[in-house]
Amino acid sequence: MEQSRREFLTTTGGLLGLLLAAGFLRPQEVAAEEWNQAAFEIKKMDDLVKLLGGGAARESAEVTIVAPDIAENGAVVPVGVASKIDKTASIAILVEKNPNVLAATFAIPQGTLPEVQTRIKMAQTSNVFALVKADGKFYYAAKEIKITLGGCGG
Amino acid sequence: MANPMKIRAKADGDVVEVKVLMSHIMETGQRKNQAGEPIPAHFIQMVSVTCKGRTVLSAQWGPAVSANPFLSFKFNGGHKGDKVKVTWVDNKGDSRSDEIVIA
Amino acid sequence: MPIIHRWLAAVAAGAGLALAVSAAGQDKAMEEIQKYRQMLQDGNPAELMEMNGETLWTMPRGANGATLEQCDLGLGPGKLDGAYAQLPRFFADTGKVQDAESRLVTCMTALQGLSLEEATRNWHRPGSDIEALVTLVATRSKGAKIDVPARHPHEAEMVAVGQEVFFRRSGPLDFSCATCHSQDDKRIRLQDLPNLTTVQGAQASMSQWPAYRVSQSAVWTMERRLIDCMRQMRFPDADYLSEAVIALQMYMQKNASGATLEAPGIKR
Amino acid sequence: MRRLAYTLLPRMLLPWTLLLGATAALPLPSSAGDVSAKAEDSFRKAFSTASPEQWATRLAQDEVNALCSKHRNQPPPEVAARIIELSKASIKLPEDGKLMGDWKEGEKLASIGTGGHIGRIQPDRAGTRQGGNCYACHAIAKQEIAAGNLGPSLTNYAKVRGTSPEAVRYVYAKIYNAQAFFPCSSMPRFGHNRWLTPKEIADAVAFLLDPESPVNK
């Protein structure tokens, strides 16, 4: 368990490295920037890991994902992310098993509380990650959300 | 033209809670129509929220944000009577801005 | 690299196991679904359709260039508040029992001079005029008590017809409405199935319609809901605004009378 | 097959008929005949665009559906007996005579709820697989949490019912036409209506009764 855990942290670091390279998770000037196509087109966690960059994220109890364990429909899954970490500057929501893993990023300027809520689509049951950048360091939380099938068959 | 947003902004002391519903289909580009042809992607990419000229939140979204998107957050420094302005831009270059007075 | 997958698989398996213990797991699952539904209550996209409905209500349209502001939904011309909660009802001017949708179409054709085709265009698609107008009308009955006593002979007959249709089985699955909606505490997969034959069940259900359906990105009217139930029963498309569909609604709204309308709801 | 159904009959029917005696038919509206004629007329008019073929296969009622509708799914004893008689006669065996198929195929069928949707609003795309959708109504394998409860739980079914040839025959016949045992059952008559093939039904039997199936693990 310990070993796989360390490995996981490294891979998460790689993901962050790629997202940074793609130019996202930079606070403040997002609105003036271009949409980060490269980051939003990342297909698989595998690809992210292959492109492993520097830096590592720490799992942190200070980052919380507010979401149900089970969603009745994958088209709308309420997800909130809150960070208690000082100087939180940005928050990203990622869904491991979606066709594109990155769902949304939020830049949190000074004066804005580090908590956002939105609703996302999930193609299937998956782990959802919240990544937080605070004072130049990275933190994350993970939560599995199950997607259930409807009864009448579409 | 894009339909208007529904914005709520409520001050509790110095903290303003903002809730926004946007009217947008948020089409992923991965779905097919009845005839089996792909439906082109159409989704909001950029969102910014300002109060008195100051950006209080900016976001970048992919097509995995749900249709008719919902966004909620809080910021410091706004007061009853101030205006909050929300702007979105989608991948086809369409955009929409709406304003609300903080209650 | 494979290790991350093992780690993630362990998370998944762990969560799966915790929920697998049949009865207890099912209860836990239903609890989490309740949490999901609760989280969606705050910020119902139906508010967007309601705004569109307000625009349409006051917009001069059709050959007559008229607005809908003089539309009579049963409480008198232009009286919107509480009107939805008393529909369907008999209208002397048309000589028919009408639901909110068929009555709105009457107003659009008679007052505004729109054709039937124009008034009902894309009724089954997100963004239709009907979706917006029904959302507006229902929202203006929020908090009102559903009151469909069916005292008029035509109304009483429609209740009886609706009940017959409700129990009418056919098709490749031998279904009727009653197959899924005549017992208490039942679910199809994890979706609750209201018992629409009882006051309690009909009240719980009808008080939430029309509703924004997250799976459809649209507000579904009661006719849209019923016609889709028939599609799921593997029937062909039932006609929009047809008597049998209004009769079903009449039967259910009568059963639901006394409930406080909380529409528009938000549903799967 | 006719003989099979008869041998199974007494055991299954007896408690059911006793129950029926106690609950009897619900009262119908006073002018029941008028209302049902009016309702049938309304119903027919509501499907003005249905083709004659669609009317015949999707909307017209056979004798059993008409009886169950009329009696609100609680037929009096003599009607129940008639339904059982008609239903028994409908059951057909797979061509190879094998009533236990492949549980893995049966497991797939149990989850698939698609197929058979028609009309212009939202028909299935061509080639959509038609499944049994068993999980819509039954808890079956423990792993599937999103199971309905319209029907009884079938978890550990082989342990409950055993795997004797009689049990296999019963389960096959029950899926083929549930109304041979429970008149006016909510369960679709999967074989009778040709929704599933005899081979697919045999696969579903295996999913429920094969000791290797996750249902019995």
Q: Which residue of B has its CA nearest to A107?
A: B58
Complex-level ipTM = 0.84
C-alpha–C-alpha distance, residues A88 and A90, integer Å: 6
How far is CA B49 from each of CA A27, A78, A106, B7, B66, rounded to the nearest angstrom? 14, 20, 11, 11, 19
Catalytic residue from among C71, C107, C180, C229: C229
Residues of chain C positioned with their CB less than 8 A from the CB of A151: 187-191
pLDDT at A45: 55
Contacts of D41 (CB under 8 A, 6+ apart): none
Domain count, chain D: 1
**Backbone dihedral angles phi then psi of residue D187, each to the nearest 5 degrees:** -70, 130
Within a 13 Å sphere around the CA of C14, how many CA atoms are in the beta-carbon half?
Answer: 11
Which of C174, C180, C242 is nearest residue D193 as measured by Cβ atoms?
Answer: C174
User: Range of D212's domain?
Assistant: 34-216
Domain count, chain A: 2
Chain B nearest-CA distance from C129, in A, is 13
User: Range of A119's domain?
Assistant: 37-147
Which of A70, A148, A153 is nearest residue D133 as measured by Cβ atoms?
Answer: A153
The chains in contact with chain B, meaning 3 or more Cβ pairs closer than 8 Å, are A, C, D
Q: State the amino acid at position D201 in one-letter form.
A: I
The answer to whether position A136 is within a domain reads yes
How far is CA D69 from each of CA C92, D18, D21, D26, D82, rounded to the nearest angstrom? 33, 21, 18, 12, 15
The answer to whether position D26 is within a domain reads no
Per-position DSSP letters for B27-56, written without gaps between them: B-S--B-TTSPBPPPB-EEEEEEEETTEEE
Q: Tens of pLDDT along C38-48?
A: 999 889 999 99
pLDDT at B33: 82
Q: Which site among A73, A126, A147 would you substitute to test the C interface, given the most C Cβ atoms closer than 10 Å to its Cβ?
A: A73
- Same domain (yes/no): A55, A23: no
Q: Tens of pLDDT along A73-87?
A: 999 999 999 999 999
The answer to whether position A118 is within a domain reads yes
- State whether residue A154 sits within 8 Å of chain D by CB: yes
Chain C nearest-CA distance from B9, in A, is 13
CATH code of the domain containing A131: 2.60.40.2470
The answer to whether position D147 is within a domain reads yes
Per-position DSSP letters for chain C, written without gaps between them: -HHHHHHHHHHHHHHHHHHHSHHHHHHHHHHHHHHHHHHHHSS-THHHHHHHHHHHHTS-BTTTTB-STT-BSSSSBT--TTTGGG-SEEETTTTEEE-HHHHHHHHHHHTT---HHHHTTTTTSTT-HHHHHHHHHHHTTTTPBP-----SHHHHHHHHHHHHHHT--BTTTTB-HHHHHSSTTEEETTEEE--TTSHHHHHHHHTT-SEEETTTTEEEPHHHHHHHHHHHTTPPPPPTT-HHHHHHHHHHHHHHTTPBP--SEEE-
Q: Tens of pLDDT along D175-216?
A: 999 999 999 999 999 999 999 999 999 999 999 999 999 999
Query: Over its length of 103 residues, how does chain B's per-residue pLDDT go in tens digits?
Result: 689 999 999 999 989 999 999 999 999 999 988 778 899 999 999 999 999 999 999 999 999 999 999 999 999 999 999 999 999 999 999 999 999 999 9
Contacts of A109 (CB under 8 A, 6+ apart): A27, A28, B54, B55, B56, B57, B58
Query: Is C257 within 8 Å of C146 (Cβ atoms)?
Result: yes
Instruction: Indicate yes or no: CB of A152 within 8 angstroms of CB of D148.
Output: no
Domain definitions of chain B by residue range: 6-101
- State whether residue B25 sits within 8 Å of chain A by CB: no
Residues of chain D positioned with their CB less than 8 A from the CB of C237: 47, 49, 119-121
- Same domain (yes/no): A86, A121: yes
pTM over 0.90: no
The answer to whether position A153 is within a domain reads no
The answer to whether position A154 is within a domain reads no
CA triple C1-C4-C7, angle to 5 deg: 150
Instruction: Indicate yes or no: CB of A107 within 8 angstroms of CB of B63.
Output: no
- State whether residue B65 sits within 8 Å of chain A by CB: yes
- Same domain (yes/no): A64, A126: yes
CATH code of the domain containing D123: 1.10.760.10
The answer to whether position A152 is within a domain reads no
The answer to whether position D115 is within a domain reads yes
Query: C6: which 2 tokens?
Result: 């093992």
- Same domain (yes/no): A42, A80: yes
Chain C nearest-CA distance from A5, in A, is 7
Q: State the amino acid at position C34 in one-letter form.
A: Q
- Same domain (yes/no): A96, A131: yes
Contacts of D194 (CB under 8 A, 6+ apart): C172
Chain D nearest-CA distance from C235, in A, is 6
Instruction: Indicate yes or no: CB of C172 within 8 angstroms of CB of D60.
Output: no
The answer to whether position D14 is within a domain reads no
Which of A70, A146, A151 is nearest residue D136 as measured by Cβ atoms?
Answer: A151
The answer to whether position A88 is within a domain reads yes
- Same domain (yes/no): A101, A47: yes
- Same domain (yes/no): A85, A125: yes
- Same domain (yes/no): A1, A54: no
Lowest mean pLDDT segment, chosen from A34-38, B20-24, C86-90, C201-205: A34-38
Is residue C180 annotated as part of the catalytic site, yes or no?
A: no
Query: Is D61 within 8 Å of D107 (Cβ atoms)?
Result: no
Instruction: Indicate yes or no: CB of C8 within 8 angstroms of CB of A69.
Output: no
Q: Tens of pLDDT along C50-61?
A: 999 999 999 999
Class of domain B6-101: mainly beta
pLDDT at D6: 37
The answer to whether position D78 is within a domain reads yes
pLDDT band at C22 (very low <50, low <70, confident <90, very high): low
C-alpha–C-alpha distance, residues D205 and D198, integer Å: 10
